[in-house]
Amino acid sequence: KEQKDFVRKVSAGCRISFFLSFAAVKYRDWLSCGRGKLTARERILLLLDPDSFDEYDMFVEHRCSDFGMDSNKNKYPGDSVVTGRGRINGRLAYVFSQDFTVFGGSLSGAHAQKICKVMDQAAMVGAPVIGLNDSGGARIQEGVESLAGYADIFLRNVLCSGVVPQISLIMGPCAGGAVYSPALTDFTFMVKDTSYLFITGPDVVKSVTNEDVTQEQLGGAKTHTAVSGVAHRAFENDIDALLNLREFFNYLPLSNRDPAPVCECHDPSDRLVPELDTVVPVESTKAYDMLDIIHSIADEREFFEIMPSYARNIVVGFARMNGRTVGIVGNQPKVASGCLDINSSVKGARFVRFCDAFNIPLITFVDVPGFLPGTAQEYGGIIRHGAKLLFAFAEATVPKITIITRKAYGGAYDVMSSKHLRGDANYAWPTAEVAVMGAKGAVQIIFRGKEANAEAEYVDKFANPFPAAMRGFVDDIIQPSTTRVRICHDLDVLASKTQSSPWKKHANIPL
Amino acid sequence: KQWDKCLKQDCPFQWQRKERMFLEGEKIACRSSQDSYCFFSRQTFEKLLIANRGEIACRVIKTCKKMGIRTVAIHSDVDANAVHVKMADEAVCVGPAPTSKSYLNMDAIMEVIKKTRAQAVHPGYGFLSENKEFARRLASEGVTFIGPDTHAIQAMGDKIESKLLAKNAKVNTIPGFDGVVKDADEAVRIAREIGYPVMIKASAGGGGKGMRIAWDDEETREGFRFSSQEAASSFGDDRLLIEKFIDNPRHIEIQVLADKHGNALWLNERECSIQRRNQKVVEEAPSTFLDPETRRAMGEQAVALAKAVKYSSAGTVEFLVDSSKNFYFLEMNTRLQVEHPVTECITGLDLVQEMIRVAKGYPLRHKQTDIPINGWAVECRVYAEDPYKSFGLPSIGKLSQYQEPLHVPSVRVDSGIQQGSDISIYYDPMISKLITYGSNRAEALKRMEEALDNYVIRGVAHNISLLREVIVHPRFVQGDISTKFLPEVYPDGFKGHKLTDLERRELLATAASLYVAEQLRSQRFLGTARIPVAKSKRSSWELSVRLGDGIYPVAVSKDGSSFSPCLVSQQVEVDGMKLNVTSEWNLASPLLSVTVDGTQRTIQRLSRNASGDTNIQFLGTVYKLQILTKVAAELSKYMPEKAAEDTSSILRSPMPGAVVAVSVNPGDTVSEGQEICVIEAMKMQNSMIAAKTGKVKAVHCKAGDTVGEGDLLVELE
């Protein structure tokens, strides 16, 4: 009987919404062959510490009276969202979890009101907001009230931005207007195979552009984590996603008023990392894996990578140094030589700005041959997008530590958290090459190919860290194995760093 | 006296005197007694080149340092950062990665010798160590080859010649008769002469075809009847081969040491029976099998052979030994063996040092009566390979973490790599030789167990699980071993340690306790928070641990009042049984020491993630566990099963290597079992076959490509 009720509720939603028709059919599939998804409350149960959830607005009902919605069988206490606050590893978080079993999780005025309430509270108290999204879209019966609800949420997303961390975990369909709330939050995670994000579904796409495309291709986890860059990471299933979210939450400060959290750490801060002395290959054209370096210096080799499959020529993510959360940005020589292009610049810039907004120190590993040349990049506006990364690093006032592992060529050298952009500690490994460009290109320009030994001379002069060190643009040339020690010491000192920028309403980042 | 000068108080090299005191007869002055930075005695070589890489190069350099000899390392371009290169006083690159172009490149090596003015060359093992051409070229340049002369290398390198030489030197060779046997009586006479058991077969039949084993006269007659019939009918050749059959052969070898003055010693035996694909895995000295008489007989024959070929330097005479302690000469290796450390451990000699002395022309300074057997030594060869695939298929990668178990007492590790080193496809995948010794075998084995548990190797697959299983196997512990040990004990291939119920409970309890420690720590934030962190009042955890196919409920509760994430004493309930787990978890350390119900164990947590997946190395074998809270485990039954990849229609490389040949093109039809391509890795060619009949959809490799493990090679439709 219970199951019948479920189906009835779902098919009620089915009649209403275009997106729902697909979703409801799917949902019945889940009912028949293992659900594949958890309910809204089960999700909260796994996300929060046991017995820590305090629910709000359990008695709120929707206020729609058209289309027979005011009949008793169409009223559900709490409507289609569960909201409240709770603790993750003892730390406060505000949560809302959309309930797909009630009108397909569609957004009514009351639903929006509940979400706005937790967001307002979160902003006042200074604690993160976590949204578990699983909604068919607007509740069409409510018309403009539903749209107004979206806008209310969007406004709060924007007002909270930079005040408290906002995380969206997409655990089902999310379409139409609904997608903009996750897009406005700091991090969007997805669940593989069961979650979708798109402006319009495949049917509308077909009717408008005559494109044949599946849900998964159009807005599945793979698309958004690897192609569009909309989502920051995807997880195997609901449980996996929620457990990872708990772990991720530990990296974040509760608000912009809090310093980066410091966890108890068993990894000695003065640990030497001998393998770093040999990690950079002798030939400067040979690639290596920047992740090897990051793993080996981070506490317990733990690194929570953000956007691991998008713009892989730059690596960003969170780690801890002596227990303290840091944001790590590194060029990845293994992919496209680690050059900066449109996607990697935007990926890096957004991450740097998040860290700056929430007092998370930045550690930058530089091995960059420059910006990617070519018409595709120029037409795409690499100048505009590359400027975002430059802007983000320059405006950041959190502690900034930079290690040049190998190449730091041209404008990309300036961009990658250089001394000139208020870097606090800039180091070079002995393998560093800080120059305007590589030897071959430089010699062609300077000597027009006439000088035979010019390349060797250029390499001798510039393919090393000394010119930069002599001018004070790098603070020291360090033995790679001591990198972890140096960073930990610097972070201790820089914890009390204060730096300000001129008064402004807000800066005008080249969007 | 030479030493007088160095007795001054401020001599910075004073300690070296001690090192050199026992080099009696080779007066060496302390370096500080000379004005120049380095002074070397005329009494030994000034500079020595090591024509090898890896652990043996490091091993030779260590002895050279002790003797005050300057060292020159050679290396290929990929080895530029290798340990032996760093250890040597000088290092020269001799070519690109493939051995034929670098470590076997005689022209380049001769060039380096000339350039660096090295006076001697130690070839290590493998590469040029038994190459008579190399020895000859060195001799013609007036450079000393540290090893026997060309004559001995040549004589012993030839299977037939070495057998003849051995026979003449009255060394036991496998007795046999090859020719026409008139009748059954003659067959019996021959068999009796040889001694039972004997093997009878037609001479013309190759390999083990038509082979019959006879243990007495009756069986010999029968065997003669069948074999002679077969010989006549199948091959049209009456000749029969009657040879001693060696049942359950053991591989035991005698280390010999000879000088250029006709003296030779035997330095006891090494038991090397544990082998896979004719490669030794575990060696020990002495052998459990030999009694003093057999040992002496073998040793004396080995010395006789060495004298017969006018051998000098260290060498090894290999014997097959049957179950009744008859031994038969197999071959002689005219080089330093990989497993020489076990001999060094029980005799106290430094074989490399002795080799250098002998090469310089000194007579041996020991008498046969000086050679002791002190205690017991065991050596395990730690390879970068996956023991679950035919006892070991090579694995490559970067050693992301590497820590030798040198904190365990009486452990010696001979290695040529360090944390961050690459194990590449070009060279032997040996990571190290792990040697433990003790006053008796049991002690040495116990330490080996401990050493293997404390060995941290991350980033490549390794054979520690296999090694650890072998050394604790009852048959091995009793000394009941033969060259067929591995296939006999693991007829279906090695599958890792089989947990007993008790061990399984221990593992589950340990894993659960570790999980709780981790959970507790993740709630501990340092500093004062603006919004106070809620303190968890939990004192018990209900967990569900998945191990293999089983899912086990585990309850963890705190034991006593003291309770912090670091020092955990917990009561863990598995299968309704309570276990006490005590450990000072250091969650950053690769080695974790834990006491479960009084049993102390060292485990390694290889990885963990937020999803609860935990890999734990327990008793040498890595177990995959998934630890979830009870709630999460109950809900996980609703999670969709992810479809597994259909492996029959795709062919992936089982190991890293180079593609030698691809025998199909897209569009071809292949039948099941047909060869698709050949992959060469570490001296082995592996034929990749089709798992089903079908049409080739795409070929993703071509001859000459380098492929990694798991790379897609060919897709079928």
Q: Which of A237, A282, A283, A303 to mutate to test the interface with B (most CBs of B within 10 A)?
A: A237
CB contacts of A240 in chain B (<8 Å) are: 610-611
Query: What is the number of other CB atoms lying within 10 angstroms of the CB of residue A454?
Result: 17
Residue B82 above 70 pLDDT?
A: yes
* Residues A269-327 pLDDT 10s: 999 999 899 899 877 788 899 999 999 999 999 999 999 999 999 999 999 999 999 99
The whole-number pLDDT of residue B536 equals 76
Does the beta carbon of B524 lie under 8 angstroms from any beta carbon of chain A? yes
Checking ipTM against 0.90, whether it exceeds it is no
User: d(Cα B689, Cα B711) in Å, to the nearest integer?
Assistant: 15
User: Which burial class, exposed, middle or buried, applies to B125 when counting CB atoms under 10 A from its CB (0-12, 13-18, 19+)?
Assistant: middle
* Tokens of residue A197, six digits: 């994000």
The residue ranking higher by pLDDT, B164 or A489, is A489
User: d(Cα A437, Cα A68) in Å, to the nearest integer?
Assistant: 71
CB-nearest partner of A274 from B420, B529, B566: B420
Residue B441 above 60 pLDDT?
A: yes
- Cα B597-B599-B601 angle, rounded to 5 deg: 125
Interface of A with B in 395-454 (CB under 8 A): none
The residue ranking higher by pLDDT, B382 or B641, is B382
Do B218 and B184 contact (CB within 8 A), yes or no?
no
3-state secondary structure string, B249-306?
A: CEEEEEEEEECCCCCEEEEEEEEEEEEECCEEEEEEECCCCCCHHHHHHHHHHHHHHH
Q: Give the phi and the psi of residue A159 in degrees, each rounded to 5.
A: -65, -35
The verdict on a CB contact (< 8 Å) between A274 and B527 is: no
Interface of A with B in 88-117 (CB under 8 A): 89-92
Q: Judging by DSSP bridges, how do beta strands A129-133 and A166-170 pair with one another?
A: parallel
- Local confidence band at A73 (pLDDT 50, 70, 90 cut-offs): confident
The whole-number pLDDT of residue B569 equals 60
Residue B439 distance to chain A (closest CA, Å)? 36
Q: Report the chain B residue with the minimal C-alpha distance to residue A275.
A: B420
The whole-number pLDDT of residue B6 equals 43
Alpha helices in A220-303 (DSSP H): 221-222, 238-249, 290-297
Does the beta carbon of B644 lie under 8 angstroms from any beta carbon of chain A? no
Q: Return the residue matching tokens 């058991």.
A: B197
CB contacts of B523 in chain A (<8 Å) are: 89-90
Residue A75 distance to chain B (closest CA, Å)? 28
**Angle at which helices B464-472 and B441-453 pack, to 10 degrees?**
150
Residue B382 above 90 pLDDT?
A: yes
The residue ranking higher by pLDDT, B277 or A452, is B277
pLDDT, average across residues A485-491: 96
pLDDT, average across residues B205-229: 76
Does the beta carbon of A247 lie under 8 angstroms from any beta carbon of chain B? yes
* Element counts in chain B: helices (H) and strands (E): 18, 40
* Residues B603-639 pLDDT 10s: 999 999 999 999 999 999 999 999 999 999 988 888 8
| Of A70-79, A481-490, B5-14, B672-681, the least confident | B5-14
Residue A185 above 90 pLDDT?
A: yes
The β-bridge partners of A166 are: A129
The whole-number pLDDT of residue B58 equals 96
The verdict on a CB contact (< 8 Å) between A38 and B636 is: no
CA distances from B518 to A44, B540, B568, B571 (A): 22, 14, 11, 16
Does the beta carbon of B86 lie under 8 angstroms from any beta carbon of chain A? no
Element (H, E) at B192: helix B184-194
Percentage of residues of chain B with pLDDT beyond 70? 89
CB contacts of A37 in chain B (<8 Å) are: 638
The verdict on a CB contact (< 8 Å) between B522 and A89 is: yes
Active-site position among B90, B331, B503, B675? B331
CB contacts of A246 in chain B (<8 Å) are: 610
Does the beta carbon of A302 lie under 8 angstroms from any beta carbon of chain B? no
The verdict on a CB contact (< 8 Å) between B525 and A126 is: no
The verdict on a CB contact (< 8 Å) between A264 and B526 is: yes
pLDDT, average across residues A476-495: 95
The residue ranking higher by pLDDT, B712 or B39, is B712
* Residues B101-131 pLDDT 10s: 999 999 999 999 999 999 999 999 989 998 8
The residue ranking higher by pLDDT, A150 or B672, is A150
> What 3-state class would DSSP assign to A168?
strand
User: d(Cα A92, Cα A131) in Å, to the nearest integer?
Assistant: 14
Q: Which of A27, A235, A240, A321 to mutate to test the interface with B (most CBs of B within 10 A)?
A: A240
Active site amino acids of A: 176-177, 411-412
Best mean pLDDT range from A438-442, B20-24, B218-222: B218-222
The whole-number pLDDT of residue B42 equals 43
Does the beta carbon of A126 lie under 8 angstroms from any beta carbon of chain B? yes
The residue ranking higher by pLDDT, A390 or B647, is A390
B259: nearest Cα among B347, B344, B357, B166 = B357
User: d(Cα B487, Cα A328) in Å, to the nearest integer?
Assistant: 50
Q: Judging by DSSP bridges, how do beta strands B250-258 and B264-276 pair with one another?
A: antiparallel
Query: What is the number of other CB atoms lying within 10 angstroms of the CB of residue B221?
Result: 17
The residue ranking higher by pLDDT, A157 or B648, is A157
pLDDT, average across residues B163-187: 84
Question: pTM of the entire structure?
Answer: 0.84
User: d(Cα B104, Cα B118) in Å, to the nearest integer?
Assistant: 18
Element (H, E) at B452: helix B441-453
The whole-number pLDDT of residue A25 equals 42
* Tokens of residue B209, six digits: 């075809």
Query: What is the number of other CB atoms lying within 10 angstroms of the CB of residue A243?
Result: 20
The verdict on a CB contact (< 8 Å) between B639 and A239 is: yes
Interface of A with B in 43-62 (CB under 8 A): 45-46, 49-50, 52
CA distances from A132 to A59, A242, B463 (A): 20, 9, 45
Q: DSSP assignment, residue A287?
A: -
- Strands (DSSP E) contained in A433-497 are 433-435, 476-477
Residue A379 above 60 pLDDT?
A: yes
* Residues B292-329 pLDDT 10s: 999 999 999 999 999 999 999 999 999 999 888 889 99
